[in-house]
Structure 1
Amino acid sequence: MEAVPLLTNNARVYLDKPYVKVFWSPEDHILMSKWTGFCTYEEIKAVGARILDAVTFEGAEKVLYDAREIEVLDDHSQRYISGDFTLDMISSGVKFAAAVFPDDIFAKFSVDDIQKDIKQKRISNVTYFQSFSNAFNWLKDK
């Protein structure tokens, strides 16, 4: 069974919703988000703003997006993530980002589309992983 992001006593939780948990791990210096289920475009955009706030507040240079349990993203959400959100993350100081592919095949198609769009635009520092542990260890080594 794959590891899950650990919330230590020192972690700062920035958002705790049924569809996402965003927290800062001071031990690892990584801002993590764990996605679960379906999110609307409005929810995605609000979470994006909160993640950007946390990046700025913590001075985060490493971010992990755990999308193993996310469901399909609509086209508008995909365009936001691969466009404005990614550009804002880079301009906010994020140097390394890791995303873990979803387990759900249809959600994986959504993330594949985001990955292709980001790659085509040549704007991102996101690296994609099949497992959480590989993504986490990669970020810790940066």
Structure 2
Amino acid sequence: MHNNIVYFNEKFCQITYDTDSNIITARWYGYPLLANIQRGMEVYLDIMQNHQCNKLLSDLGKAKGTFTVANDWIANDWMPRALRAGYRACAMVYPDDVFTKFALKELNQKYEKARLTNFVLKYFHKEEDALLWLMAI
């Protein structure tokens, strides 16, 4: 049984927290702007800090366009704070959009360059598979 609390619900993103599995789920839509990406990711961080939650499912399946403008902020500002808050695992659902895939690849390269420890990122084609993996680790 899932007990989902909706923490954020905007046109570009919906963020829920499942109190039973202790997993954050974010579903991104359309063409997110830098400010919107930052707003959504700050919500992730608040949930992580307030619920000692360390797992995130980020579904980019309906996202479009590139978000490379946000990648430096994510890698250099948000990620260190999230790791300090206990962030340990992210299951990402691949986007259909080629430009979103490009942005995701660039972000992944930044993570690899930073040699993040105690953190695992895995990609999936279906949200259900991503959720099962997060629940198993």
Residue number in structure 2 paired with 1:89:
82
Residue number in structure 2 paired with 1:129:
124
Residue number in structure 1 paired with 2:30:
37
Structure 1 Cα separation of the partners of residues 71 and 111 of structure 2: 10
| 1:79 is the counterpart of 2:72 | yes
Structure 1 Cα separation of the partners of residues 120 and 29 of structure 2: 23
In structure 2, stretches of 5+ residues that fail to align are: none
CA contact (8 A) 1:41 1:76 kept: yes
Out of 16, 23, 33, the position equivalent to 1:23 is 16
Residue number in structure 2 paired with 1:119:
112
Structure 2 Cα separation of the partners of residues 137 and 18 of structure 1: 27
1:131 positional shift: 2.4
3-state SS of the aligned residue for 1:60?
Answer: coil
| 1:46 is the counterpart of 2:48 | no
In structure 1, stretches of 5+ residues that fail to align are: 1-7
1:110 positional shift: 0.9
Deviations 1:31-90 (A, max 9, x none): 111101111111111111111111111110211111111112343212222332222221
Structure 1 ranges of 4+ moved more than 3 A:
none
Does 85-94 or 33-42 show the bigger shift?
85-94
1:9 positional shift: 7.5
